[in-house]
Chain A
C-alpha cells in the first residue's frame, strides 16, 4: 500500500531538509521525497498537506502507560490513542508498572499489547533494578533481547552511587542508555512542591532544587567514571542544566529532556492547592523556568518528553499531600511546544529536533526520527497556525488529571502516521483524497 503526503513542507533536521516536497511511503517505509510537480504514483492514497509541515514522527522518551497493573488509570491502548491524537508516533513506556517491567516477560507483554492496539509504536523501557527497588540489577540483557530501548527506575531515583555505577557499567555493555529521575531523596523526602517562597506561603513541604542538582551532578560524575550513555529525565532546575553543560564540555554522553509543564507553569500555579499541579519533579520558580527556556534556546536540552502520568480523578480528589504526583501530557505537549515557537524561543526545525531527531538518537532507534529513504514511515503533520482549545473531556486518555484544561493553543499536530498507516487525523482536516482527485486538482 502506497501513501503520498502531498504539497506539504518537509522539515527533516536529520537530513538537513527544509523544503516543499511530496513524501511517498510504501509498506511501512519511506520510499523517498518527490517534487511537488511529480505525478502521484498509481494506486497511492493521497493526504493533502497543503499549508502543513511534514515532520519525522515525534518520539516521546517518557510516558507512563500504567499497564500492567493500573488499567483503571490508563491502558497501553488508551495511552497509545492519546499519543497519536497528540502527534506522537512512538512512546517509550516507563517500567514502574505492577509488576515492574524488570523481566523479559513483562517487556513482551507490553509489546504485544501495543501490537494489538495498532496505534503508536510503544517501546518499553526496562527497570534498572529489580522492582525499581534500587538494590539488585534487573535482567537488562534479557530485556534488551525482548525489546527494551533503555533502562530507568523512573519515579524511584537510584539512591546510591554504588548501584548506579554498576548499572551504568552493565548497561553500557548492551548499548542501553541509562535514564535517571534525579532527586536526592534525603533532601526531597516528604516534599510535595518546589521549595521556595510559594511552599513557605502555602505551608507545603518543599523539594529544594538542590535535591535535583546534587543527583544530576552525581550521575555526570558516574558517566565519566563508566563511559555510559546517561539521559537525565525531566530536567527542571538551573543547576541541573549547568551540570549537564559541564558534562558535555568534558565530552561525556549526557543528554536530557524537559517536560512542557516545566517551562509553562511556575510554582505560583499551586496557589489554590489544585492537585493537578502536583508533579514530580515539581514545577519550579520563575528563575528555573527562565533557565529551562535558555536551555531550550541554546541547545543544552536535547528532547521534549511528556512525562504523561495518568491518575484517576478519585486519587487526585484527595488532600494535596495525599494526591499522587503527575499529570497527563500526551495531547498537550505539542501545543505547549508551539508556545516556544510562537514566542520566538525556538524555531520549527528545532522543535522537530527536540521531538523527533534527538529522541531517536538518544535511544539509538534505528531508522526513526528521519524521513530518509527506507526509514520507518512514522510521520507527524503539523499545522503551526491551528488555533484550538484543549478540552480534557475529549481526551483519549482514561484519566483527566491536567492543569491545561481550557487552555488556548496555537499550533497542533493534525495527522499522525505510524508505519505508513494514518492512525490519527484531526476531524477538521479531512483532506484524504484518492490519486485521481489529486492529479486532477494538480492540473
Chain B
C-alpha cells in the first residue's frame, strides 16, 4: 500500500484538494490508522492556530495604532511635495518590442509545426502554391520537377506479406513461414508471393491485384 505524503495529508486536512484526490486520500485514511492519525493531528493544529490568531496580542490599542499610521502617511505626502514633482510615468506601449519579437517567434514556430506535421501531399501542394505566388516556376528546370498526381493504390511486397492497400481496405496474403517465400511486384499492378511446401515441394503463387 502506498501512503500519501505528509504534504498531501496536510492539504487534505485543510480541505485544499480537488474532488478526485480528496476521494483517493479519504479512501486511504479509512484503511490506514497511521495516516488517519496524521490527518487528525493536522486538523487539531489548524484549529489551535485559528484560535490563537483570533486573540489580540496583549498591550495593543487599535485606536492609537490607527492614528499613528494616518500621521505617518500625511508626513510622507508633505515630504514628497517639498522635493518637487514626481516624474510623469510614461505609459508603456501595449506591445513592446520584446513581446512583439516573442509573438513573432511563436507564430514562426507554430507555422513550422503545421508544415512539418502536414501530410507530404498537402505540404507539396502548399509549397507549389507559395512558389507560384512568388513567380517561381519549377517547370523551366530540366532536372527537377514537381509531380502532383494522386496515387491510386499501394501494392506492398515483403517476405512477411504481400498486400494491396486502397480506400482504407487491405487485401493481403501472409505466408505461414518466411523461409520458403519469394515475393515480387509487377509494374502492371500486382504483388506475388511464391511459397514452396516443405513436405511435398508443391509451389503455390498467391497474387493480389490493385484494380478490378
A, B: real partners: no
Give the interface of B toward A (CB within 8 A). none
